[in-house]
Chains A and B, each alone.
Chain A
Amino acid sequence: MSSLSDGLQSGYAVEFRGTSYRLPSGAPLISGLNLAISRGETLILLGRSGSGKTTTLKLINRLLEASAGEILVSGREIRTWNPIELRRGMGYVIQDAGLFPHWTVERNVGLVPTLEGWPRERILARVNEMLALVGLPPEEFANRRPSGLSGGQKQRVGVARALAADPPILLMDEPFGALDPITRTDLQREFRALAKRLQKTIVFVTHDVREALFLGTRIALLDQGSLVGIYTPSEFLKASEPQVHAFAASLDVDGTHEGAQ
């Protein structure tokens, strides 16, 4: 993991070079993806269902192996990484948090530090620090089970768990997608502040263009397994590609495209 941080001193955090991914049946999910993710940025993978955004994310931590092309993590070809070491250097948050239901919040958050063999006191201190960071008072939440948490609280614990071992990269797959709109907005605001403060490289999958514009330093738009383009939020609203238009048009209810955000 230390080597993953070291490598991040220069160059891109993650780089796709002509990467393709096909199912065993031969159906292509990602084709010829070229995408360089800079250190410290929040890159949004935006796309409709089936556009290949989750597949792209899973290629980064080797849950899936690319069929063709290269992926570089910290400048090193991904196949030369030990997958376990690679993954422990990347926090991972998914839609329903994926917390272990048979573990307390404390054990869930302390997962990666425990796997890394940290001493007990240091794990406990880190868990408390992380819970406080995501706005959950440790004395109230540390001993609860995930089943006793609301959706928003689960996601907070998920974020705390992902950050616990201080990984340089954070992978997030629609982490706020299943929350009610008010909770979602709260978490998005807090997360944006957190991301600014922590300076992690964040790869964030969403189909919600509002979320993409709010959280992203750049937005990579995927359509049917191919990259349409990469835009800053302000570029995105002015871009001329029809796929971008389709997303931008979804922003305003009354049909006046100009007033978006």
Chain B
Amino acid sequence: MSWYEFLLRTHTEILERTLEHILLVAASMSIALAIGLPLGIYLVTRAALQRWVIGAANVVQTIPSLALFGFLIPVPWIGGIGASTAIVALSLYALLPILRNTCIGIAEVDPAVVESARSMGMTSRQVLWQVQLPLAAPVLLAGVRVATAMCIGVTTIAAAIGAGGLGVFIFRGLAMVNNQVILAGAIPAACLAIAADAGLGYFQRSSARR
């Protein structure tokens, strides 16, 4: 089959799978951010607890992704076959870079600046939102960038537990020994990763310039 014929026949599915892929990544990243940012902020001033939590996140990170999906399948409520299990696993993966970079980013803000902010009569909340977070933004965004790129990659594997996404083409193509089908998943997935990285890299640089 020529590429033209192939694309004519499968372009709607490619679009659907790409959208599915983006939704899986977006859902997982939202959860990871919703947990990682506040938790990271909370942990900045609690060194001992921070070591434990980041240690635990590190352990999760070292589990191979397919194994983590496997571990989660028998877990009640969150487990089973499908997208929800994948989102849980992907969020866990994305958590570490976000958590670690939130802690590092805030801790690296010049203590003299934070001290003068407090001395001028800013409340802790004002210091956090107007001084610490904006100044930590480049490091924080670097964490989000790493997490997003990784998440897009690992999401292709989530197809193995029936989560959908572009991995569906890759696994199907492998089973069919059909390069066209493999590439129909691999090329859009690679493009997504590159585009996300470039986009977030732009944000990161512009936040550093401010």
Q: Which residues of A does B touch, CB under 8 Å?
A: 61, 63, 84-88, 90, 92, 94-102, 111-112, 115, 161, 171
Contact = CB atoms under 8 A, between A and B. Distances in A.
A101 B135 contact: yes
Interface stretch (B19-27, B89-97, B110-118, B160-168): B110-118
Contact of B116 (A86, A88, A98): A98
Contacts of B118: 63, 87
A187 B119 CA distance: 22
A84 B121 contact: yes
B126 interface: yes
A85 B120 CA distance: 10
B44 interface: no
A63 B112 contact: no
Interface of B: 110, 112-113, 115-123, 126, 130-131, 134-135, 210
B121 A115 contact: yes
Given A94-B112, A115-B126, A100 B131 contact: yes
A2 to B, nearest CB: 14
In the A-B complex, the 5 residue pairs with the smallest Cβ-Cβ separation, listed nearest first, are A98-B116, A88-B121, A87-B121, A92-B119, A98-B112
Contacts of B210: 102
Secondary structure type dominating chain A contacts = mixed
Contacts of A94: 112, 115-116
Contact of B119 (A87, A96, A100, A102): A87
Which one of B113, B117, B131, B134 has the greatest number of beta carbons of chain A within 10 Å? Answer: B113
29 contacts: A63-B115, A63-B119, A84-B121, A84-B122, A85-B121, A86-B121, A87-B119, A87-B120, A88-B121, A90-B119, A92-B120, A94-B116, A95-B112, A96-B112, A98-B110, A98-B112, A98-B113, A98-B115, A98-B116, A99-B113, A100-B130, A100-B131, A100-B135, A101-B110, A101-B113, A111-B120, A112-B120, A112-B121, A115-B122
A88 B119 CA distance: 8
Nearest to B135: A102
Nearest to B122: A115
A132 to B, nearest CB: 21
A71 to B, nearest CB: 16
Contacts of A101: 110, 113, 135
Contacts of B130: 100
B140 to A, nearest CB: 13
A89 to B, nearest CB: 8
Nearest to A61: B119
Contacts of A98: 110, 112-113, 115-117, 119
A161 B117 CA distance: 11
Which one of A63, A99, A100 has the greatest number of beta carbons of chain B within 10 Å? Answer: A100
A43 B104 CA distance: 39
A87 B115 CA distance: 12
